[in-house]
Structure 1
Amino acid sequence: MSEIAEKIKQAGETFEERIIEIRRTTKVTKGGKNLSFRVLAVVGNRNGKVGVGVGKAREVPDAIRKALVSARRNIIEIPVVKGTIPHEVVGRQDAAKILMKPAAPGTGIIANGTVRAILELAGVQNVLTKAMGSTNPVIMAQATVNGVKNLYSIDKIAALRDITPAQVVRGVKKEG
């Protein structure tokens, strides 16, 4: 379990759950067709923490439970600045690319269903996105997570550059 998941478990935070997709899959064997279900789920607290998980089982309720457990284990923290993301980022996974850009207040979340669910539960209110390549919901969800993992907060950028956060915002370069 990730350290963020451990902290959340201790803090007792409440998370909203959302099922993005339930897909029936079939495996053809010598004995016939074996049906199973794959579920893609998202959990988030609408305050910068979100997790995505996939669950597979013979019955839908079991698959949903597994997906939610997986999502809770994979919670990540993303920086949200004034209701949007701090900077433009591209998330990639296999053949999918998700471009995410910060947006002005009042824009809303301009995204497809999978990306929208993840960003909404993360607490992002205004963002522009463009999905390119694969439209498989699982791959798109992973690409979105990979993208938001690469977001840096102003404090983190300031620490990396060894300057103050105010200098990052104003664009002042480090002396010396």
Structure 2
Amino acid sequence: MKRNIVDASQLELTDKVVTIKRVTKVVKGGRNMKFTALVVVGDNNGHVGVGLGKSTEIPDAIRKGKEDATKNLITVPLDENNSITHDFVGKFGSAEVLLKKSPEGTGIIAGGPARSVCELAGIRNIRTKSLGSNNKQNVVYATINGLAQLKTPEEVAAKRGKSVAEVTA
């Protein structure tokens, strides 16, 4: 998964907890209870990240998840409609998320986990469809993977040695 890491110190980040799970480890003396929190952070302006925090207390797990997410921020290229630059399918494990570019006024048409990522990335018009696994963690990571691999028309034109007009036509 390609990561274009961003310095989080200058960004005003908001966070959203996608899921909290209680996990149990059976040991000789009984059961050890812990919590895992899947947290998405973003600045609503093209930067988004996801992190997983684990702890014996829920607030500690959320804090750790937020710290992990700020370390893994990516930049999402947006077009003039605050949508993505092209259609793409993000994959992670058996989860696949179809990301479709949409015109102005569409809004965010997405399921819960993918919606959290799109909202915090600053995307205002997008259609998504979760294909394959519906595991929330894998769907979030598949969405992040898809957004991380998007390219701007300028990048594609430079790579092909053409003008932007030739690529977008």
TM over 0.5: yes
TM-fit CA distance, 1:4: 3.4
What is the alpha-carbon distance in structure 1 between the residues aligned to residue 113 and residue 42 of structure 2? 14
Q: Quick one: distance in 2 between partners of 1:3 and 1:114?
A: 22
1-structure distance, mates of 2:144, 2:164: 25
User: What root-mean-square deviation, in Å, do the aligned CA atoms of Structure 1 and Structure 2 show?
Assistant: 1.4
Give 2:125's aligned residue: 126
Aligned partner of residue 77 in structure 2, secondary structure: coil
Cα distance in structure 1, aligned partners of 2:39 and 2:157: 34
Deviations 1:6-51 (A, max 9, x none): 3x32xx2211111111111111122111110000001111111000
1:141 & 1:93 partners in 2: Cα distance? Answer: 9
Match of 1:50 in 2: 48
Equivalent position of 1:70 in the other structure: 68
Cα distance per residue 1:69-125 (max 9 Å; x no partner)? 000000000101121111110011111110110112111111111100001110111
Equivalence for 1:138: 137
Q: Does 1:5 align with 2:3?
A: no
Q: Which residue of 2 aligns with 1:87?
A: 86
**Aligned equivalent of 1:103:** 102
* SS of residue paired to 2:54: strand
Query: Identity across aligned pairs (percent)?
Result: 42
Between the two proteins, the alignment pairs up a number of residues equal to 166
Please give the secondary structure, in 1, of the residue aligned with 2:5.
helix
Range 77-86 or range 158-167, more displaced: 158-167
What SS does the corresponding residue of 1:65 show, helix, strand or coil?
helix
The residue type paired with residue 4 of structure 1 is: I
- Rounded to whole Å, the distance in 2 between the matches of 1:53 and 1:75 is 9
The residue aligned with 2:34 is 36
Q: Which has the higher relative contact order, 1 or 2, with Cα contacts under 8 A spaced 6 or more apart?
A: 2
| Equivalent residue letter for 1:106 | G
Whole-angstrom CA distance in 2 between matches of 1:112 and 1:126:
14
Rounded to whole Å, the distance in 2 between the matches of 1:128 and 1:53 is 24
Query: Which residue of the partner structure matches residue 18 of structure 1?
Result: 16
Amino acid at match of 2:164: P
Unaligned 5+ segments in structure 1 are 172-176
Deviation at 1:3, TM superposition (A): 7.2
CA distance in 2 between partners of 1:84 and 1:3 (Å): 19
Secondary structure of the corresponding residue to residue 5 of structure 1: coil
Correspondence for 1:174: none
Name segments (4+ residues, structure 1) moved above 6 Å.
none
